Structure 1
Amino acid sequence: MYKNILYLINFLRNKGIMKFFLSFFLFGLFYVFTSDTLYKSTITLYPAGELSENTNILSQLSEFTETFGVNVPTKSNYYIPDIIDSYSLKNKIVKKEWDSRKFTNKTNLVDYWEIKDYSFLEKIITYLKLNFNNNFFDKDLYDLNKAIKKLDKLISVNEAYSGLIEVEVLFEEPQLSADIANYISQYVINFVNKEQKIFARKTKKFTEERFKIAENELIHSEDELTNFRKEHPLINDTPELQLLRLRLARNVEVNQEVYITLRNQLEIAKIEESKERLFINILDKAYPSVKKEHPKTFLLLFIFSFLGFLTGSLYYLVLNNARKK
Structure 2
Amino acid sequence: MSEEKAKKSDEIDLISVFVKLWQYRIFIIVFTGVLSLASVLYALLATEQFQADVKLYKEEAEVKGSQLQSLATQFGFGGMEQGLTFSIEDLLKSRNFQNKIILKHWKNKKNDTLVNLINYWEIEGKTKGEKLHKARLILEDLITTDKDKETGLIVITVLISEPKLAADIANYITTLITDYVTRERKTSTQQNIQYIKKRLSKVEEELAMAENTLKEFREHNRVISTSPQLQLEFGRLQRRVTIKQEVFLTLQKELELAEIELVKEKPVINILDHAVKPEKRFKPKRMIVVIVGTFLGLFLSLLFILFIYIWKYMRDELEKRNVSLSLFKK
Structure 1 CA distance for aligned equivalents of residues 55 and 89 of structure 2: 12
Paired residue secondary structure (2:267): coil
Shift of 1:316: 0.3
1:70 paired residue number: 77
Structure 2 CA distance for aligned equivalents of residues 67 and 253 of structure 1: 17
Structure 2 unaligned blocks of 5 or more: 1-10, 317-330
Match of 2:21 among 1, 11, 20: 11
Aligned-residue Cα RMSD (Å) equals 2.8
Deviation sequence 1:199-243 (CA, Å, 0-9, x none): 333332222221111111001111222233334443898655544
- 8 Å Cα contact 2:107-2:115 kept in structure 1: yes
1:106 aligns with 2:114: yes
1:83 paired residue number: 91
Structure 2 CA distance for aligned equivalents of residues 59 and 236 of structure 1: 40
Deviation sequence 1:71-127 (CA, Å, 0-9, x none): 3332442123333343332221101111111111111000000002x6xxxxxxx6x
Structure 1 unaligned blocks of 5 or more: 119-125, 127-138
Structure 2 CA distance for aligned equivalents of residues 9 and 281 of structure 1: 67
1:258 aligns with 2:230: no
Match of 2:161 among 172, 180, 185: 172
Structure 2 CA distance for aligned equivalents of residues 235 and 8 of structure 1: 120
Q: How does 1:1-325 map to 2 (within 5 A)?
A: 4=14, 7-8=17-18, 11=21, 13-47=24-58, 51-52=59-60, 55-56=62-63, 61-71=68-78, 72-116=80-124, 139-160=127-148, 161-234=150-223, 240-324=229-313, 325=316
Paired residue secondary structure (1:115): coil
Distance 1:186 1:286, change over 3 A: same
Distance 1:236 1:7, change over 3 A: closer
1:123 paired residue number: none
- 8 Å Cα contact 2:35-2:297 kept in structure 1: yes
Q: Which structure is higher in RCO with an 8 Å CA cutoff and minimum separation 6?
A: 1
- 8 Å Cα contact 1:59-1:75 kept in structure 2: no
The amino acid of 1:250's aligned partner reads R
Structure 1 CA distance for aligned equivalents of residues 160 and 306 of structure 2: 44
Distance 1:188 1:236, change over 3 A: closer
Structure 2 CA distance for aligned equivalents of residues 104 and 77 of structure 1: 42
Structure 2 CA distance for aligned equivalents of residues 235 and 75 of structure 1: 49
Structure 1 CA distance for aligned equivalents of residues 46 and 55 of structure 2: 28
- 8 Å Cα contact 2:224-2:231 kept in structure 1: no
Task: State the aligned residue count.
Answer: 301
1:130 paired residue number: none
TM-score by length of 2: 0.80
Distance 1:100 1:61, change over 3 A: farther
Deviation sequence 1:175-204 (CA, Å, 0-9, x none): 111101111122222223233333333332
TM-score by length of 1: 0.81
- 8 Å Cα contact 2:67-2:250 kept in structure 1: no
